[in-house]
Amino acid sequence: REPGTTTRERVEQIKTYVRDHIDERLDLEDIARQFYISSHYLSHYFRRETGFTLGQFIAQAKIDRAKELLQKGFSVTDTAISLSYNSDSHFINTFKRLTGTTPKRYASEMRK
């Protein structure tokens, strides 16, 4: 890490990186490499600073972006593709787990 960069600042940089690359496939190893730190170190300090894992943060950031896309009229499939989900079903399951509703139901509620 850069001299003088605190763990909190580094975590904020990582959160910004995730938001800026939310439409890509993101994983711990790639992000750790991007910041020249070990994945173990990243995992430990991210959780210590935020209270949740990097994976949880990425999943929530993707769902936040999905909500924006669905509100703009993107289909469930187009939303899943644009956020680099492996499949519609993976996207739908993640969305439902984090929001309590399906993307399709969410989109129709937003259009009312």
Alpha helices by DSSP H, the chain = 7-20, 28-34, 39-50, 54-71, 76-82, 88-99, 103-111
Q: How far is CA 44 from the centre of its chain?
A: 18
Quick one: tokens of 20?
């800026």
Looking at residue 4, what is its pLDDT?
62
- Going residue by residue through the chain (112 aa), what tens digit of pLDDT does each one get? 455 678 899 999 999 999 999 999 999 999 999 999 999 999 999 999 999 999 999 999 999 999 999 999 999 999 999 999 999 999 999 999 999 999 999 999 988 7
Instruction: Answer yes or no: is 70 within a domain.
Output: yes
Residues 20 and 97: their CA atoms lie apart, in Å, by: 24
Q: Which residues form the domain of 31?
A: 7-54
Q: Is 75 helix (H, G, I), strand (E, B) or coil?
A: coil
CATH number (domain holding residue 91): 1.10.10.60
pTM for this model (two decimals): 0.89
67, 107: one domain? yes
Q: How far apart are the first and last CA of the chain?
A: 48
Looking at residue 75, what is its pLDDT?
96
